[in-house]
Amino acid sequence: MNHPPVAITGIGAISALGTGTAAQLEALRAGRSGIGHLTHLQLPFPELWFGEVKATNTDLAALAGVDPDRSRTVLLGLVAAQEALRDAGIGADTVVDLLSASTVGGMDRSEAFATGWMTGGVDGIDRAPGHAVGDHALQLARHLGLRGLVTTLSTACSSSANALMLGAWLIRSGRAEVVLAGGTDALCRFTTAGFRALSAMDGTPCRPFSADRGGMNLGEGAAYLVLERADRAAARGRTPLAYLAGAANTNDAHHQTATSPDGEGPYQAMRAALEDAGRAPEAVDLINAHGTGTDNNDGTEQVAMERLFATVPPFVSTKSATGHTLAAAGALEAVFSVLAIRHGVVPANLRFTAPIEGSRSAPNTAPREARVATVLSTSFGFGGNDSALVLTATP
Amino acid sequence: MDAQALKQQLKAQIIEQLNLEEVKVDDIGDDQVLFGEGLGLDSIDALELIVLLERHYGIKITDPKQGQTVFRSVNTMAEFIQSHGK
Amino acid sequence: MTPIAHSRLSPGVFTLNGTLLAAPSAPPVEALRAAYQALAMDYPKFHKMDLAAKLTVLVAEPVLRVARDRGADLAEGTAVLALSRSGSGSSDVEHWRVRQDTGLASPAVFVYTLPNIGVGELTIRHGIHGPSLCLMTDGPHSAESVMAARLLRRDPRVRWLVCLWSDIFAARFEAQAVLFGPDDDPTNQADPTTLFPSTP
């Protein structure tokens, strides 16, 4: 490695498991699930299972200290981003670049304006406040008082993993000293109806990596991490929580929604991320898998893991607890990876029933304590966009 | 509707629903395999065909795997519609 | 960076390195079909894409043909940087409209309600396995896009880089693509705010 190490000096998260990283840790340790029917959101899907953040927009706005009249995506993002900056001890005097990911953007709000566009013609969507997916990052930067670069990434379910990758590159190249990177997505009709049309939703709480898995549960949430040049963190007396030692992105180039049968894209992403981190596969203590619970994803992901690892290390899909938080997932799972390293906890892959036929590995099914020094965290998106991050205890 | 008319209608609906712009009704054989090497349809097309059946014929397929047999060819689709239709 | 190839696709203009390939007039549906025919692509899957993905695939096609002619390793050594203003706006509206009109969402429409799906189509068509990034920007000229392009080039696997700009919504559409080769030094940038030449 000939580049400066990238330290993680702050983390923030909100998900179905709770508000704040302490709540996430407590739930991961207890093996608690956040999956259930909706209780706070007014959406017409009483029969479906979700990883809902148990807070109304008014609750979230109060937490974030802003007016609630805005997208839930922005409100969730603000709560997580504020926690991350606070955790890192970063104040308004520091120039921070924001790399933020979202797929939903202000879609939940646009829905409220939908009748208007329908009657006013499609041109009206340009007037739906906050619809453009990039708008959420501008709102975040404004409310957080950030003065650096503001960029929105959108590569489906790998979006925030790519935000973290780009953040690491910025710091390594010397173009930035402090980056706030992550993602946010709220539940809304738009994505729920879409994934239901794709027959991608389990009618019961999801069972990732199980032979009888039936699809995903949609979730919502936000997570942000403060990335900082390690020598800068040291100079201001901060001990890094962990390091973002490696990252890679590849394209599967097979199909819009399905990964190739041999898991080539995921395999290459994991292999390249470990190479980038200067780590051998044997060094990996935990894989925080993408594990959506769909037939295609989990089957091909496990094939890819078994190609890369002679013995597959403990692996889990924490989406069994949070639901699939789409663009937020990569960052949320990076936060879980940091918690695993800091607190020596291997989370559980909940509701696992039986191994996938033909596989020679199975996920970790109960939370346990263990030394975790190296985590491989994966995120694979529609469009064949595959990313892997390597998070470590030491540079 | 007689079987032949139903098949012609199905072919037109398949072409429209799946945006098979360079395919004409007469290009699709009654027994031609629709997926893979046949007409080259994929998993998203299969889901669209589920929507087509529900929208035009009021028939719901809840298990996408059932689609694999139903959507083998225009013949199998027509038989399925005639045995399940309202 | 001086690109090896530069294509542009907008109402009345489809060019490669300033040479007119076609003159597709609006509206976009017909214009993009005309551009497709001008390229003689013979790619039936094209017709299944939404307008944003079609625009991405079309504008990239001429520069990727140049890359292939120059012996580029499209499979392993090529990265894609996509910049988009409209993202998936057109399909977002269509997804909503279909659901409103029929009570049922269309799977094939929903798949395209993501800004990176056009890049997905591009990587499938050309078998590109290298890294890609999709950024939402207000225009083709933005310092962050130059930064992202330079960072992508630091990946040791990347020798060729394709950068795309696109914007398509309702009646408006505009796209550009540029190709950078292995010998193009990213630091030799006269104008640090853009990847795209200002001349056609």
Tokens of A33: 């699930």
Q: Residues C128-175: pLDDT tens digits?
A: 999 999 999 888 988 888 889 989 988 888 999 999 999 998 889 999
pLDDT score at C199: 59
Query: Given an 8 Å threshold on Cβ–Cβ distance, is C113 in contact with A250?
Result: no
CA distance linking residue C34 with residue C50, whole number of Å:
15
Q: A157 an active-site residue?
A: yes
Alpha helices in chain A (DSSP H): 21-30, 57-64, 72-88, 107-120, 135-144, 159-172, 189-197, 230-235, 264-277, 295-308, 319-322, 329-343
Asked if the structure places residue C130 within a domain, the reply is yes
C contact residues 119-148, partner A, Cβ 8 Å cutoff: 119-121, 123-124, 126-138, 143-144, 147-148
Of C44, C104, C108, the CB nearest to B44: C108
- Give the Å distances, CA to CA, from C178 to C15, C70, C161: 12, 15, 8
pLDDT score at A3: 82
Chain B contact present for A256, CB below 8 A: yes
Ordered per-residue pLDDT tens for chain A, 395 residues: 568 899 999 999 999 999 999 999 999 999 999 999 999 999 999 999 999 999 999 999 999 999 998 999 999 999 999 999 999 999 989 999 999 999 887 777 776 665 555 555 555 555 554 566 678 999 999 999 999 999 999 889 999 999 999 999 999 999 999 999 999 999 999 899 999 999 999 999 999 999 999 999 999 999 999 999 999 999 999 999 999 999 999 999 999 999 999 999 999 999 999 999 999 999 999 999 999 999 999 999 999 999 999 999 999 999 999 999 999 999 999 999 999 999 999 999 999 999 999 999 999 999 999 999 999 999 999 999 999 999 999 99
- Looking from the CA of B56 toward its CB, the CA atoms found within 13 Å total 19
Tell me the β-bridge partners of A10: A226
A5 touches A16 (CB < 8 A): no
**CATH superfamily of the domain spanning A246-392:** Thiolase/Chalcone synthase (3.40.47.10)
Tell me the β-bridge partners of A390: A246, A376
Asked if the structure places residue C11 within a domain, the reply is yes
Domain A6-235: give its CATH architecture.
3-Layer(aba) Sandwich (3.40)
∠ at Cα A322 (A320, A327), nearest 5°?
115
Characterize the bridge pairing of strands C13-16 and A97-101: unpaired
Residues with Cβ within 8 Å of residue A312, at least 6 apart in sequence:
A287, A305, A306, A360, A361
A198 → chain B, closest CA residue = B47
Residue C59's identity, in one-letter code, is: V
How far away is chain C from the Cα of B15, in angstroms, using its nearest Cα?
11
pLDDT score at C185: 61
**Domain ranges within chain A, ordered by starting residue:** 6-235, 246-392
pLDDT score at A123: 52
Residue ranges of chain B with per-residue pLDDT less than 50? none
Query: Considering only CA atoms, which of A76, A339, A86 is closest in space to residue A220?
Result: A76
Chains that touch B (3 or more CB pairs under 8 A): A, C
CA A231 to the chain's CA centroid: 27
Tokens of A26: 């407590």
Chain A contact present for B40, CB below 8 A: no
Query: Given an 8 Å threshold on Cβ–Cβ distance, is B18 in contact with C48?
Result: yes
Q: A324 an active-site residue?
A: yes
Asked if the structure places residue C192 within a domain, the reply is no
C contact residues 17-56, partner A, Cβ 8 Å cutoff: none
pLDDT score at C189: 56
Residues with Cβ within 8 Å of residue C77, at least 6 apart in sequence:
C130, C157, C158, C159, C160, C182
How far away is chain A from the Cα of B37, in angstroms, using its nearest Cα?
16
Asked if the structure places residue C185 within a domain, the reply is no
Cis peptide before A266 (omega within 30 of 0): no
A138 touches A102 (CB < 8 A): no
CA distance linking residue A182 with residue A160, whole number of Å:
5
CATH number for the domain including C120?
A: 3.40.47.10
Chain A contact present for B51, CB below 8 A: yes
pLDDT score at B66: 83
- Which phi and psi angles does A320 have, rounded to 5°? -65, -20
Question: Is there a shared CATH topology between the A6-235 domain and the A246-392 domain?
Answer: yes
CA distance linking residue C79 with residue A169, whole number of Å:
15
CA A345 to the chain's CA centroid: 19
> Which residues in chain B have their CB less than 8 angstroms from residue C102's CB?
55
Chain B contact present for A258, CB below 8 A: yes
Residue A256's identity, in one-letter code, is: Q
Range of the domain at C45: 5-180
Query: Considering only CA atoms, which of A278, A293, A350 is closest in space to residue A321?
Result: A350
* List A136, A143, A157, A188, catalytic entry: A157
A172 touches A6 (CB < 8 A): yes
pLDDT band at C3 (very low <50, low <70, confident <90, very high): confident
> Which residues in chain A have their CB less than 8 angstroms from residue C154's CB?
169, 172-173
How far away is chain C from the Cα of A168, in angstroms, using its nearest Cα?
10
How far away is chain A from the Cα of B47, in angstroms, using its nearest Cα?
7
- Give the Å distances, CA to CA, from A278 to A170, A247, A250, A391: 19, 11, 18, 12
CA distance linking residue C191 with residue A75, whole number of Å:
37
pTM reported for the whole predicted model: 0.95
